[in-house]
């Protein structure tokens, strides 16, 4: 689904990613772990098309297409979804309006007619129940005045309704208490499917207790320094990031 080859990315003159290679197939869950400043967030931003980054070398191919050439909204319509570490508050735009705008953009992109108003409402209300959210959230402004947990739940709600193919989750566990973490994880787990892939960017192992990854990659100084199965996350938790960083320095 996504093939990243030798990806180099700079911010200004400063290289952040220095040759990332990653193959992600449909149905897989990949966890990208790493210490602060390793380039984790840069990777998720570059894949979703945020401005301010320069790709100096390498490629990212999504479903056979050059991902890096696409505008952010085209990536989103093609099925790439970024769950933000810090979801943005948008006063004046209601949640349900944005959901409708987003869903209809995807449908238009795929040559389908606008969603029927009643069908849409049924769909949205189903997903709201799934995430144990109050229906009132739909009519409130996007993320405005939401708690940290509510914002993250709202991201998962959007994901559940837009049904993306590739979900990039940037530090989804940050700022979540244990109850919110459970609900968010259950939401993500319910979206697991053979057609859908997840990239979970996280600093801590804790999220991976709830969402079991197939692969764990450790990012340090802009490179993937170690890859392995779910066990690698546990090993990291025990030994700390200095363990892989030291290994890299020794190599």
Partner 1 sequence: MNTATASRYAAEYQTIAPVLPGQALPWLKALRAEALMAFSAHGFPSPREEEWRYTNVSGIEKKLFSPSLSLTAGDLDSEWLKSYQLEDTWSVVLVNGHFSAELSNLTDLPSTVSVMSMADALVKQPDKVEKYLGTAADQSEHSFIAFNTAWFTDGLFVHVPVKQVLNKPIQLLHIVTGSDAMATTRNIIIADEMAEAKVIETFVGIDNAYLTAAVTEVFVGSNADVTLYKMQSESDKAYHFGGSYIKQARDARFTHHNFAFGGLLARSDIHADLDHASECELNGLYLGVKRQHIDNHTRINHLKPYAISRELYKGVLDDRARGVFQGRVIVAIDAQKTDSQMNNRNLLLSDDAEVDTKPQLEIYADDVKCGHGVTVGQLDEKSIFYLQSRCVDEETARNMLTFAFANEMVDKIKIRSLHDIVLEQVLARFPQEGVNKEWL
Coil vs helix vs strand at 33: strand
Minimum gap (Å) between residue 71 Cβ and partner 1: 7
Strand stretches in the chain, DSSP E: 2-11, 14-24, 29-33, 54-62, 65-66, 80-83, 90-94, 141-142, 166-170, 197-202, 215-220, 223-228
Binding part of the chain for partner 1, among 1-9, 13-21, 24-32, 44-52 by CB under 8 A, reads 44-52
Residue choice 30, 40, 77, 217 for contact with partner 1 (CB under 8 A): 77
* Least Å from the CB of residue 145 to partner 1: 12
In the complex with partner 1, the residue whose CB is nearer, 40 or 215, is: 40
65 binds partner 1 (CB under 8 A): no
Q: How far is the CB of 86 from partner 1 (least distance, A)?
A: 9
| 23 three-state secondary structure | strand
Phi then psi for residue 114, to 5 deg, are: -60, 150
Q: How far apart are CA 117 and CA 196, in angstroms?
A: 27
Residue ranges in 132-191 that form contacts with partner 1 under rule CB under 8 A: 141, 158, 162
* Nearest residue to 48 via CA among 20, 17, 19, 73: 73
Taking CB under 8 A as the criterion, which residues in 187-246 touch partner 1? none
Cα distances (angstroms) measured from residue 142 to each of 49, 76, 99, 183, 214: 21, 18, 10, 20, 33
**Site for partner 1 (CB under 8 A): which residue of 6, 23, 91, 189?**
91
Interface residues with partner 1 (CB under 8 A) are 48-51, 71-73, 75-77, 81-82, 84, 87-88, 90-94, 96-98, 100-103, 105-106, 109, 141, 158, 162
């Amino acid at each position: 689904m996504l093939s990243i080859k030798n990806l180099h990315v700079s911010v200004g003159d400063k290289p952040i990613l220095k040759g990332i290679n990653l193959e992600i197939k449909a149905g897989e869950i990949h966890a990208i772990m790493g210490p602060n400043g390793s380039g984790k967030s840069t990777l998720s931003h570059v894949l979703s098309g945020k401005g301010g980054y320069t790709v100096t070398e390498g490629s990212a191919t999504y479903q056979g297409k050059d991902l890096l050439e696409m505008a952010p909204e085209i990536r989103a319509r093609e099925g790439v979804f970024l769950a933000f570490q810090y979801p943005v508050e948008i006063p004046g735009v209601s949640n349900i309006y944005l959901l409708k705008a987003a869903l209809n953009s995807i449908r238009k992109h795929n040559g389908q007619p606008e969603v029927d108003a009643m069908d849409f409402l049924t769909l949205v209300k189903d997903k709201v129940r799934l995430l144990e959210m109050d229906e009132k959230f739909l009519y409130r402004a996007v993320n405005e005045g939401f708690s940290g947990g509510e914002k993250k739940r709202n991201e998962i709600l959007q994901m559940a309704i837009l049904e993306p193919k590739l979900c990039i989750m940037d530090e989804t566990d940050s700022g979540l208490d244990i109850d919110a973490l459970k609900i968010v994880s259950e939401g993500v787990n319910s979206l697991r499917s053979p057609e859908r892939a997840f990239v979970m960017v996280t600093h801590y192992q804790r999220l991976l207790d709830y969402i079991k990854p197939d692969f764990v990659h450790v990012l340090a100084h802009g490179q993937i320094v170690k890859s392995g199965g779910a066990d690698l996350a546990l090993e990291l938790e025990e030994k700390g990031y200095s363990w892989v960083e030291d290994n890299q320095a020794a190599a």
